[in-house]
Chains A and B, each alone.
Chain A
Amino acid sequence: MSTHRFAVNVTPKPGILDPQGRAVEGSLDHLGISGVSAVLVGRRVELTVDAADEAAARAVVERLAGELLANPLIEAFAIESIAGASSTTAAPPAPARPPETAGERHA
């Protein structure tokens, strides 16, 4: 058994209206900031999973993300493995992994 820490980043699906992103973009003027665009506002959920191995843990997170954390009708999610609480009992701690690529966005 091992412990793994993940983050799920939930964002509006491409093509879906993102009122928060629009509002943030609209306010950049007041801060005197230019050159910023395509703001996307979502939420991030971090969690620790106990499972037989990393693949099993990721499967749990995929299910959680698709059924609870994100609304598949209007949201997309990306799963990131994060350093910290990950550990295995049978092997030395795994090194921190880099965030996943954008290819996972439509998972």
Chain B
Amino acid sequence: MTVRIGVVVFPGSNCDRDTMHALAQAGAEPVGLWHEQAALQGVAAVILPGGFAYGDYLRAGVIARFSPVMRAVTAFADEGGLVLGICNGFQVLAEAGLVPGALLRNRSLRFLGREVAVSAERLDTPFTHALSHAGPLRMPIAHGEGCYFADAATLDALESDGGVLFRYVDGAGAAAAEDDRDANPNGSLRAIAGVINARGNVAGLMPHPERAAEAVLGSEDGAGIVRSLVESAAKAVAERRVTVGMS
């Protein structure tokens, strides 16, 4: 039985098709979840994909977070459902308070489209357990507002409680300095590229694993993240740990 994974589609989402393709490659059945519908159609996990939901107007992710589908996603997350936000999706989760912190404009004040390397800080989460190694994982970033920010207390808590899920790393594989323009080009605090919530079921990251899931595209390092989510979702269904997709 193929596990069904939802991909939310806001007006302006532009990585939904890429994400669905990566899910299909990983053996799941992708299900498009239109923003107007406050129902998750029985999916076992949800991905908020990249793009420019509502044009990123006013503030990236801020208009999207009020759409009907987000009410359902929030309820799903509250019940322990698995939710992954990629790039714009991470911004929506942060605006919605489902993960801590905020994404500010890149330090360079310009959009950045290039490859980065990240390390998975934890391999014991539903989003990373299928990774064969912690890093460096090469994936593209493509964003204008990817600088991770949180106040010092939140950052300390993230570090001590295992809330940092991915971190930008330099050529030596060590955590990038905040002013390392090559390895941490958006200037994220503590070089944080992705975070996971305290409960461990909602995560967000700025790099695009769905664009690094096939060798022909230059890197397969992102496939492990997609596969982790698919396997975790299937496991959750099998164990009936989650009341899937009810709003």
Chain A residues in contact with chain B, CB under 8 A?
19-20, 23-24, 26-27, 30-31, 41
> How far is it, in angstroms, between the C-alpha of A20 and the C-alpha of B67 when the chains are bound?
17
Smallest beta-carbon distance A36→chain B, Å: 14
Instruction: Find out whether the CB atom of B55 lies under 8 angstroms from the CB atom of A19.
Output: yes
Residues in B with CB closer than 8 Å to A24 are 57-58, 63
Interface of A (DSSP majority class): helix
Instruction: Find out whether the CB atom of A20 lies under 8 angstroms from the CB atom of B58.
Output: yes
Chain B residues in contact with chain A, CB under 8 A?
54-55, 57-58, 63, 66-68
Residue of A23, A30, A31 touching B55 (CB-CB under 8 A): A23
> How far is it, in angstroms, between the C-alpha of A20 and the C-alpha of B54 when the chains are bound?
9
A-B interface contact total, Cβ < 8 Å: 25
Closest 8 CB pairs of A and B: A23-B57, A20-B57, A27-B63, A30-B66, A23-B54, A23-B55, A31-B66, A30-B67
> How far is it, in angstroms, between the C-alpha of A20 and the C-alpha of B12 when the chains are bound?
13
> How far is it, in angstroms, between the C-alpha of A27 and the C-alpha of B65 when the chains are bound?
10
25 contacts between A and B (CB under 8 A): A19-B55, A19-B57, A20-B55, A20-B57, A20-B58, A23-B54, A23-B55, A23-B57, A23-B58, A23-B63, A24-B57, A24-B58, A24-B63, A26-B54, A27-B54, A27-B63, A27-B66, A27-B67, A30-B63, A30-B66, A30-B67, A30-B68, A31-B66, A41-B57, A41-B58
Smallest beta-carbon distance A38→chain B, Å: 16
Residues in B with CB closer than 8 Å to A41 are 57-58
Residues in A with CB closer than 8 Å to B67 are 27, 30
Tell me the nearest residue of chain A to B53, going by C-beta: A23
Tell me the nearest residue of chain A to B71, going by C-beta: A30
Residues in B with CB closer than 8 Å to A31 are 66
| Interface core residue of A20, A24, A30, A41 (most chain B CB under 10 Å) | A30
Tell me the nearest residue of chain B to A21, going by C-beta: B57
> How far is it, in angstroms, between the C-alpha of A20 and the C-alpha of B63 when the chains are bound?
11
Tell me the nearest residue of chain A to B64, going by C-beta: A27
> How far is it, in angstroms, between the C-alpha of A26 and the C-alpha of B66 when the chains are bound?
12
Smallest beta-carbon distance B66→chain A, Å: 4
